[in-house]
A and B are shown apart, each in its own frame.
Chain A
Amino acid sequence: DGGITQSPKYLFRKEGQNVTLSCEQNLNHDAMYWYRQDPGQGLRLIYYSQIVNDFQKGDIAEGYSVSREKKESFPLTVTSAQKNPTAFYLCASSMASTYNEQFFGPGTRLTVL
């Protein structure tokens, strides 16, 4: 089955720790995205990547970092510099052209203790 997988489903972090969220897709999509979802605020774009070894900041990139070493993988690191990291994180992918559907993974819920 083609799709997007995210792991873990739930993640707990102590303040001051960096954590990495995994995102893998087997849809052969060029573009991948990370969104943050908070109640009442919709989806906000953190980072996106159009091609391997290239990525761009979205609207709320501060305190986050990404890498795109393989087409299939786009991991997100939530660093200790992110002041309010507790949220639901969604990874998506799409063909690298407009009018194409973004396919979303099941999400990772991160809680800072």
Chain B
Amino acid sequence: QQQVKQSPQSLIVQKGGISIINCAYENTAFDYFPWYQQFPGKGPALLIAIRPDVSEKKEGRFTISFNKSAKQFSLHIMDSQPGDSATYFCAASRPPYNFNKFYFGSGTKLNVKP
């Protein structure tokens, strides 16, 4: 049973457009939601993260929108660039706080066309 469901599986966006990736979860104990970016043949790297006490977090062209009541969160990439072409993973984690276990979504492969 997948704890975090991610969609779409793949996404094609024109340069300058907005890329939107969605994730949903069931476990209300989750309280930390990071997004990771992965380029081919490389390990994932943290892009941006949010806690449920805020509904939105923005860092440059990347924004996380969080809807606690709907148990959904999404990544918006504004002014998408070809260099943003990568696979994006959402994740969630919950207490206990003695270590940081993440539950990852299945990933979205983004292709930004020039």
Interface residues of A (CB under 8 A from B): 4, 31, 40-45, 48, 50, 90, 92, 94-107, 109
Contacts and interface: CB of A to CB of B under 8 A. Distances in A.
Contacts of B42: 106-107
A42 B93 contact: no
A26 B43 CA distance: 17
A99 B32 contact: yes
Contact of B51 (A95, A99, A105): A99
Interface of B: 6, 9, 32, 34, 36, 41-46, 49, 51, 89, 93, 95, 97-102, 104-107
Given A90-B44, A107-B41, 5 more contacts: A4-B43, A40-B107, A42-B6, A98-B97, A102-B46
Contact of B34 (A40, A90, A96, A101): A101
B110 to A, nearest CB: 15
B100 A102 contact: yes
